[in-house]
Amino acid sequence: MASNVFNGTGSYLIFAEDTAFGTAGTPTGSNYVDKTSTTSYSITNNFVRSHGIGEGRNATQAVPGGLDVSGSTEFELTDPDFLKYCVIGLVTGSGTVGSPYLITEASDLGYSASTVNTLTLEVGSIGDTADVMTFDGCAINSWSLSGTADETIKGSFEWLGRQATSSTSSVTYVPPSNPPMTFQAGALSVAGDTVGKLVSFELTSENNLGVYRTLGSRLINQPVAGIRRYDFTVTVKMNYDDAASTLNAVELRALAMGGLTTSTTCSDVMSWDGKAMSFVLTEGAVAGDRVITVNLADCYFENPSASYDVETQAIELTVSGFALGGTSSIPIQWYTVS
């Protein structure tokens, strides 16, 4: 009798756009999400147990409730194109220095020129036989990008879907050929000043999808894109640098205390101005190198924190905050040097 144990080294994650809600796309082996490191899914039947009076202590019947399909993925960033589904945005441009690809925030999911399609995700495992799970009607509910010194840029997203289907029909997977972007070539700036001694940066975003069902089906209806949120966390080595065009740790902390880089006490005013913030990843200046920029408008720094330890050789300052949106509704852009 044949025995086959599926494993991660023989697995893949691919996608295709749905042509309508409930009409699945057909993923191909080259439609990779990105350099995926982990992916998972969950299917919940939400059975409802029934128990009437006079029927004893145990439930007597069960009926299936609404079907919930969801999952999550972690990846290394090699190709920003999939991020349009995370932002729920539209891509324009040609990917050159003069005309970079731009992800413009869209208002909703849908199948017109001004909305963003839902997806069909396919997770496959190949051994002596294949095991494939396909999920249609998928949309990204939350996502993140993060970078830490000496590591690659990493991303993640959580999704929900309409339906799950299993099969043994697999494809030949074609993974990304580009290497992952690295944090060493990254730079963060606030209001045009480069943040000095940067250790790590994380951007998280929520789409707050509205999910509902109507009579006649256990499956969800087409999700509605809800309120978009951007949050970030920045960690720097605690330092003071008075060089021009440099935002040092003391000035970064001051932004969170009083809205100005010169603040020395927590402000008692009711409001202050948000700051523009951009995170640029650059491979180099030769042909084929990629340049990716995250642009956020109206950023507010609200939670500075630091700890002091006698064994710590350098104190780190962490500041978290949020942005009201992408700059000119374009949070991400990129191009390839020609």
Look up the pTM and report it.
Answer: 0.93
CA dihedral 187, 192, 198, 201 (to 10 degrees): -70
The CA-atom distances, in angstroms, between 224 and each of 12, 17, 40, 208 are 28, 17, 23, 9
54-58, 188-192, 236-240, 307-311: which range is least confident on average?
A: 307-311
What is the rounded average pLDDT of the residues 264-290? 89
Alpha-carbon gap, residue 78 to 35, rounded angstroms:
7
Q: What local confidence, expressed as pLDDT, does residue 3 receive?
A: 63
Higher pLDDT, 225 or 282: 225
Alpha-carbon gap, residue 16 to 119, rounded angstroms:
6
Could you tell me the residue ranges of all domains in the chain?
A: 9-45+64-336
**What pairs with residue 179 in β-bridges?**
none
CA 33-110-142 angle, 5° bins:
45
Q: What local confidence, expressed as pLDDT, does residue 87 receive?
A: 97
Q: What local confidence, expressed as pLDDT, does residue 1 receive?
A: 53
Q: How many CB atoms lie within 10 A of CB 309?
A: 7
Is the pLDDT at 2 greater than 80? The verdict is no
What is the rounded average pLDDT of the residues 75-100? 95
Question: What does the pLDDT look like over 130-157, one tens digit per residue?
Answer: 899 999 999 999 999 999 988 899 999 9
Question: What does the pLDDT look like over 220-245, one tens digit per residue?
Answer: 999 999 999 999 999 999 988 888 99
